[in-house]
Amino acid sequence: MKKNISVIIIVLFFLTYQMNIFAQGIEQLDLKSESAVLLDSDTGAVLYEKNANEKMYPASVTKIATAIYAIEKGNLDGMATVSANAVRQDGTRVYLVEGEQMPLKQLIQGMLINSGNDAAVAIAEYLDGSVEKFAENLNSYLQTKIGVNDTHFTNPSGLFDENHYTTAMDLALITNYAIKNPVFAEIFGTKVLGWKGQSWETTLLTHHRMLKGELPYPEVTGGKTGYTSQTKQTLATTADNGKIRLTAVVLKSDLKNDKYQDTALLFDYGFKGYQHAVLKQGEIYKSEDKEFYPEQDTVITENVEGCVKKINPDGVLSIEDQNGKVIHTIQLKYKELPMPKVAPVKTKKAREENNQQLIQVNALVGMAIIAFAAAVIGFGRKKTKASKNA
């Protein structure tokens, strides 16, 4: 009995040890935010996620979507006329005046840098005539252009509404898409901007404390803050260490500093743990009896400790870390097998012509043989006759 108990204890110890090793292999970050995502800005690889697809309320991080939609749809030099509805908006403002006219780009700057809710509504009404029509068009744009599926916005600013929601993954995808636009990237990374409006002349400072330098993180290149009493603290941030660029989104932390600490943890994790590699053009990957290859040199993200590449029968190459976690996937091109050479099928006319040619050739050959035989016989007779005369 004692021997059996000892065996059980040893087995339990071994299993516990193995589980601890496995848990240590998959690093869990001590994030205070309820939801978070870290992406490679260039490849789109998902490097870390926490409740990434849960329905969340974004607050003013919504303005990232409003900004990229406005930049791609509108005329940045076009003059928008501010309505009374825009002026009446709650929360942070840039103190627009009813009837004031302002270029679309300046409104986008006031919205992203100073989080102006009045500027956000002025943009929506300028682009689509009303906030309601703007929201309808924005949702369609986000789905068809960027490919998000779990986002529904009811306003351009992010003021709380139960039907105004998204996910950390969708917001990361929206941010990642937006920063590839140079106008957006410039405004998103602006720390200080001189502002001159009809009623307010000042210097705007970004609200993002890491970008501003109050919480130093030199690699940070841009960001947008958000907060309402219902949504709590939200933050979207981009960073670049010269080797790899990252996009981080954190949603719903109780304290303001929590979202910055979470973002720093995510960036530390990404910069230390991941690097870029290249799939060479034409490099062959086999699945069963099929061969696939990249059509061009393709940048991938891999763990600094290496990665495992797996190809499925449809040509989707999965890049996995040492623990089997899929970092991202790439669709490769199928290599067509060479077609076997088959003798061309001849038409009836071609066959008749070919037969006629054969008959002609055979006739010529026959005539040549007869002529040669006659010549031989004639030569033989002459030789015989000459012998008799001798």
Q: What would the pLDDT profile of 47-58 be if each residue is shown by its tens digit?
A: 999 999 999 999
Q: What would the pLDDT profile of 263-282 be if each residue is shown by its tens digit?
A: 999 999 999 999 999 999 98
Last residue of a domain, which of 247, 273, 299?
273
Q: DSSP letter for 390, please.
A: -
Distance CA 314, CA 243 (A): 32
Reply yes or no on whether 60 is catalytic: yes
Q: Are 250 and 289 part of one and the same domain?
A: no
Catalytic residue among 33, 35, 41, 60: 60
Residues of the domain holding 293: 280-334
Mean of the pLDDT values across residues 325-352?
72
Reply yes or no on whether 115 is catalytic: yes
Residue 273: its pLDDT value, please? 95
pTM over 0.75: yes
pLDDT at 6 over 70: no
Q: Phi first, then psi: give them for residue 203, nearest 5 degrees.
A: -120, 120
Q: Which residues pair with 192 in a beta bridge?
A: 205
Q: Are 182 and 72 part of one and the same domain?
A: yes
Spatial contact of 82 and 154, defined as CB atoms under 8 Å apart: no
Least confident of 44-53, 301-310, 334-343: 334-343
Residue 258 is assigned to a structural domain of this protein: yes
- Nearest residue to 223 via CA among 158, 255, 266, 179: 179
Q: Are 54 and 201 part of one and the same domain?
A: yes
Reply yes or no on whether 6 is catalytic: no
Q: What would the pLDDT profile of 183-222 be if each residue is shown by its tens digit?
A: 999 999 999 999 999 999 999 999 999 999 999 999 999 9
Tell me the two tokens of residue 188: 């998103």
The confidence band for 380, taking pLDDT boundaries of 50, 70 and 90, is low
Last residue of a domain, which of 221, 246, 273?
273
* CATH number of domain containing 169: 3.40.710.10
pLDDT at 318 over 60: yes
Catalytic residue among 115, 224, 232, 252: 115
Residue 22 is assigned to a structural domain of this protein: no
Residue 321: its pLDDT value, please? 84
pLDDT at 7 over 50: no
Tell me the two tokens of residue 296: 């061009």
Domain count, the chain: 2
Q: Which residues contact 172 (CB under 8 A, 6 or more apart)?
A: 37, 38, 39, 236, 247, 248, 249
Q: What would the pLDDT profile of 155-171 be if each residue is shown by its tens digit?
A: 999 999 999 999 999 99
Mean of the pLDDT values across residues 133-142?
98
Mean of the pLDDT values across residues 80-104?
98
Angle between helices 131-141 and 62-73 (to 10 degrees): 90
Q: Which residues contact 145 (CB under 8 A, 6 or more apart)?
A: 72, 177
Residue 25: its pLDDT value, please? 44
Last residue of a domain, which of 242, 273, 304?
273
